[in-house]
Each structure stands twice: as C-alpha cells, then as structure tokens.
Amino acid sequence: MVESLGGSDWKNIRTERESGGVYLYRFLKKGSPVWVAWNDNEGDRTLTIPAAKVKVTQLVPRFESGKDVTSYDGAFESQDLSATAGSSELRVRLGDSPVIIEQR
C-alpha cells in the first residue's frame, strides 16, 4: 500500500462513497487517481470506477503467516481490468478484502 499511495496529495483526498457498508476514497498521485475501497457487508458488492483500465490489488496477503511469504511481489493478489470497448468506466467487485485500484 505504501508504494501505491506514496507521493499522493494527502491534502486532497476525496470521499467518493461512504454508504451501504461500502467505502471508496480517491487519492491523486502525480495527477492520476488511485482509489482505496472496502466492503463491510457479508456478501460481495460492486463499484463503478470512472476509468477505462485499472489494476486492482488486494491489501490482505494471500498467506496465513508472514513466514510463508517468499516474495513481496507475489504476496498480494492483483488483476488488470478493462472497460468494454468505447466505455470510460468499469465495474470492480469488492469482496472481504480491502483493495487499491490504480488507473492505468
């Protein structure tokens, strides 16, 4: 999380959602948006993000113990998502782990 948010403009954090157990905050890092989101509900929820391409990284490592982590790069699950052709927004599923969403 430090790498993803390092260099952000901490004076201009924007709350984009705080309702229904879903939380979404936008940071600006070198002029590009980075979102932090989480879901306090028991079931999954979906967010719409105003971006055509993003990288979503889980903030909870996939390992049960730190001793199981052999490489920091592989400790956190991430995936690249793209909007459908011609769209400038996409949907991101939120499960039980907080995520960082980086515009690409």
- Phi, psi of 89, rounded to the nearest 5 degrees: -145, 155
Rounded CA-CA distance 97/95 in Å is 6
Reported as a pLDDT band with limits 50, 70 and 90, residue 5 is confident
% of the chain surpassing 90 pLDDT: 63
What pLDDT is stored for residue 9 in this prediction?
Answer: 74
Rounded CA-CA distance 1/103 in Å is 15
Domain containing 18 equals 2-103
CA 98 vs. chain centroid, Å, equals 7
What is the number of domains present in the chain? 1
Output DSSP code: residue 54: E
Mean pLDDT of 54-75: 77
Reported as a pLDDT band with limits 50, 70 and 90, residue 3 is low
Give CA torsion, residues 97, 42, 21, 51, to 10 deg: 50
Question: What pLDDT digit, counting tens, does each position of 71-100 carry?
Answer: 666 778 899 999 998 899 999 999 989 999
What pLDDT is stored for residue 67 in this prediction?
Answer: 67
- Provide the CATH number for the domain around residue 67: 2.60.40.1180
- Phi, psi of 17, rounded to the nearest 5 degrees: -160, 135
